[in-house]
Chain A
Amino acid sequence: MKRILLKWVFIFSFYHVAVLPVAAQELGQTLDSLEVRPSLVNSRLSLPTQLTQVHVISPGEYFAPPLVADIPDDRFGDMVRMGRNIFIKTGVYAKRYAGNGLNCSSCHLQEGRKPHGIPLWAAYGRYPMYRHKTRTVVTLEERIQDCFIYSMNGIAPTLDAPEMKALVTYTKWLSKGAPVGVDLPGRGLPNISRTQDLDPKRGKIVYETRCELCHGKDGKGQKHTNGEGYMFPPLWGRDSYNKGSGLQRVRTLAKFIKGNMPLGASFSLTNQESLDVAIYIWLQDRPRNPKMSQAMDFFFPNMAR
């Protein structure tokens, strides 16, 4: 009987010592062959007749915010610099308020400068304004608090916190020379309309062909090589925005994707493709809305708010 036992111990350890490491090494070493390149394996989504014409931007079409090199070298400039730091590295400079792996600039693209990427320079002149979500008039500070609570899944800095002052100062500096009280071209997100019913199955295909490369197979993003923060932010999961965020509304998310994603190819997806991929992302799991009870979240997981 001892012998049989010994045999099993031997087989067990042989497997661990000889088979597993070799297999693991083999796996680690095999380089991707061409056939696994996502751009080549997946079937085409549309016929070449369905082309999207991309709007070409002519100089002066959108507001151009001032250059970072032009931040003044005084106390005001220091506040602007602090605001910019918080905006692009929220997890580092406003650690106590941020609850996930995103930065403000993950959604407000290119440091809050990109037209159709919810630019800050277009927001400054609009506030205070009436919002349907809260049914009150909100100020810019209160709007920023909302982004902290929902989009950053964190806690809101108080209205007199230095972080809040810095963010507002940065916003004001970015909108130097922008008119007040008008909707500037490129404000917020672009408008889209739908023609067909949405289908998460089609959305999954779009995700796998166009987004997976950067945002990862499981949508959890990809971390920087030094392990701090995200190179490509997570679209769902623990480190993403929560269910109360503006992006949890399918239409808003589709608008965001249409106007900004895939990175560098804005407006390259059709309206239908953006809506399909948006509903696919909407169906995934993410942190619950802090203003909604656990029970509601359990029974109606995808109810926006």
Chain B
Amino acid sequence: MRLSDNIKCSLVSWITKISIWKFFLLLLAVSFVIFLVQSVLPVFSDSHDLHRLAGEELALNGRGKIPSCVSCHGLQGQGDAKIASPRLAGLHPSYIKKQLEDYARDPLKTRAFVEPIARDYVKTPRTYGDLTVFTPGTRYDPKMNGLAKLLSAEDRHNLAIYYSKLAFVASPKAYDFETLERGEDLALRGKPEYGLPSCDSCHGPGGQGFGAIFPPLAGQPVTYIIAQINKWQAGKRDNDHLALMRNIADQLTDGDKVNVAAYYDNLSYSVNSE
């Protein structure tokens, strides 16, 4: 009580004593100093860097039973088309983290079973219920499942930050004209007469990804893109928000997958590099 009174009195008497201009000048000077110090501060205490370095260590060398990520995802995190392993460099950190969490989740615990789509799915009426809307969030893959279970939350965080900061430059490959033309039509316009939106309307212009939820398609190996769509159709991947991608994958034919993957492989694209 006494202390606060004291402060109040002194402040009031002081403000009345000096002119208002001097007061503003002082305020200006103080905020300038704050600004200066603030702009220098991050250089000294960057915890971001610590996470990144820890992630790098784990990615390059592995730890205990955890194999190094580079053996499958490439030294620069550029992916490997031969084993359908995706590029990780430059993906959004939250996206990487979410995928690792989904790999580690036990499918039985979510108590949900996703029925694979029927072979002649064009003729099968799709039924939307709650299970298709509120996704359980599991992703099945023999290589990644066991590995992801060994990672701690801290590891996932570090790895996510490390890979999101890596630079990547795509090397566009040549395809025949017809494939590219069909792929482009699907990527930019979808199939309106079937109500299928374009890939770019979610995956960003040029398939470069948008935010934490929509991953990039440009720069992903062709085999990986096709494999993922197959997994959605077979019910082995069911971790997308609001089943957004599942609705799309259910409607793609085998030709569509090849065309659209080729189109994205043909685009030039770079991330994190000047």
Query: A interface vs B, CB < 8 Å?
Result: 1, 4-5, 8-9, 12-13, 16-17, 21-22, 25, 29, 31-32, 34, 37-40, 42, 44-48, 50-59, 61-65, 67-69, 109-111, 113-117, 119, 209-210, 213, 222, 224-225, 231, 262-266, 268
Would you call B16 an interface residue if the criterion is a C-beta within 8 Å of the partner chain's C-beta atoms?
A: no
- Nearest residue, chain B, Cβ from A43: B134
Are A268 and B38 closer than 8 Å at their CB atoms?
A: no
Chain A residues with Cβ below 8 Å from B241 are 37-39, 213
Is B139 interfacial (CB-CB < 8 Å)?
no
- Checking A13, A31, A38, A209 against B30 with a beta-carbon cut-off of 8 angstroms, the contacting residue is A13
Partner of B129, one of A51, A67, A68, A113: A51
Can you list, as one digit per residue, whether each of B26-56 has a CB less than 8 Å from chain A (1) or not (0)?
0000100110011001100101100100000
From A16, A38, A59, A114, B242 is in contact (CB under 8 Å) with: A38
| Contact A56 B122, CB 8 Å, known A63-B193, A113-B192 | yes
With contact pairs A40-B134, A46-B130, A222-B211 given, residues A53 and B125 touching in the complex (Cβ less than 8 Å): yes
Q: How far is the CA of A1 from the CA of B14 in the complex (A)?
A: 8
Indicate if the CB atoms of B128 and A16 lie closer than 8 Å.
no
Does B57 belong to the interface (CB within 8 Å)?
A: no
* A17-B242 in contact (CB<8A): no
Name the residue on A nearest B124 (C-beta). Answer: A56
- Can you list 19 A-B pairs with a CB-CB distance of less than 8 A? A13-B30, A21-B38, A21-B42, A39-B135, A42-B134, A45-B130, A47-B130, A48-B130, A56-B123, A56-B126, A62-B193, A110-B189, A110-B190, A110-B197, A209-B133, A213-B213, A222-B210, A231-B204, A264-B197
Mask of B150-172 contacts with A, CB within 8 angstroms, 1/0: 00000001001100000000000
Q: Which residues of B contact A224 (CB under 8 A)?
A: 204-205
Query: A31 near B10 (CB under 8 angstroms)?
Result: no
What chain B residues lie within 8 Å of A46 (beta carbons)?
Answer: 130
Q: Closest approach, in angstroms, between the C-beta of A65 and any C-beta of chain B?
A: 8
Is B7 engaged at the interface, CB distance under 8 Å to the other chain? Answer: yes
Partner among B157, B198, B242 whose Cβ is within 8 Å of the Cβ of A31: B157
**Main DSSP-derived SS at the A contact region:** loop
Partner of A57, one of B51, B93, B193: B193
The CA-CA distance from A9 to B129 in the complex, in Å, is 60
Q: Does B202 contact A (CB under 8 A)?
A: yes
Interface membership of B248, Cβ < 8 A: yes
**B192-A115 in contact (CB<8A):** yes
Decide if B48 touches A25 in the complex (CB within 8 Å): yes
Does B101 touch A at the CB level, under 8 Å? Answer: yes
Nearest-neighbour CB distance to chain A for B42, whole angstroms, equals: 7
Q: Which A residues touch B131, using CB under 8 A? A: 48
Given contacts A61-B193, A111-B189, 10 further A-B contacts (CB under 8 A): A29-B48, A37-B98, A44-B130, A62-B193, A110-B198, A222-B211, A262-B244, A264-B202, A264-B248, A265-B128
> In whole angstroms, how far apart are the Cα atoms of A8 and B14 in the complex?
13
Which residues of chain B have C-beta atoms less than 8 A from A231's C-beta?
204, 210
Q: Which residues of B contact A61 (CB under 8 A)?
A: 193
| CA distance in complex: A65, B191 (Å) | 11
A263 and B197 within 8 A (CB): yes
- B127 near A210 (CB under 8 angstroms)? no
Q: Please tell me if B243 contacts chain A, counting CB pairs below 8 Å.
A: yes
B47 contacts across to A, CB distance below 8 A = 25, 29
Contacts of B181 in A (CB 8 A): 69
Given contacts A16-B38, A110-B198, contact A225 B192 (CB under 8 A): no
> B185 at interface (Cβ–Cβ under 8 A)?
yes
Greatest chain A CB density within 10 A among B160, B188, B247 is at B247
The answer to whether B147 has its CB under 8 Å from any CB of chain A is no
Docked pose: A42 CA to B130 CA in angstroms: 12
- Pairwise interchain contact A225-B94, C-beta atoms closer than 8 A: no
Does chain A have a CB within 8 A of B76? no
The answer to whether residues A4 and B10 also contact, given A110-B192, A114-B192 and a CB cut-off of 8 A, is yes
Which of A17, A64, A119 interacts with B34 by CB under 8 Å? A17
A52 contacts B127, C-beta separation under 8 Å = yes
B30, B133, B210 pick with most chain A CB within 10 angstroms: B133
